[in-house]
Amino acid sequence: MRKTFLYEARVSRKTAANANGWLETCRTLYNVALDQRRSAYRQHRITVTCFDQCNELPDLKTEFPEFKAVGSQVLQDVLERLDKAYKAFFRRVKQKGHKHA
């Protein structure tokens, strides 16, 4: 039997605003990184990896200061989550193709 515990965090308005700002920054990074992968493949048939995108984070932070507010490990986790979703998508597409063959 599994038990689940639900905790309610009581945070100040400032902390909640900071957390929402981080979440928005992470969402923006996810969408920008996804767009980078899609456009690189469409235009040049180049695959952009998670490693490539993680290496671009320092440049991104200097160019866009809002990314400095979020920890580097958090930003790397966002890119790893994108990579995992990307790979899972193509794995499912490949499996679907084999079922109909």
pTM comes to 0.83
Residue position matching structure tokens 């440049």 = 59
pLDDT at position 83: 97
From the CB of residue 16, how many other CB atoms can be counted at a distance below 10 Å? 11
Residues 57, 59, 64, 66, CA torsion sign: positive
Residue position matching structure tokens 């193509």 = 90
Separation between Cα atoms, residue 101 and residue 98, nearest integer Å: 5
SS3 for 28? helix
SS3 for 38? helix
pLDDT at position 97: 72
Q: What is the pLDDT along the chain (101 residues), one digit of tens a residue?
A: 788 888 888 999 999 999 999 999 999 999 999 999 999 999 999 999 999 999 999 999 999 999 999 999 999 999 999 999 999 999 999 888 765 54
Residues 32, 79, 67, 46, CA torsion sign: negative
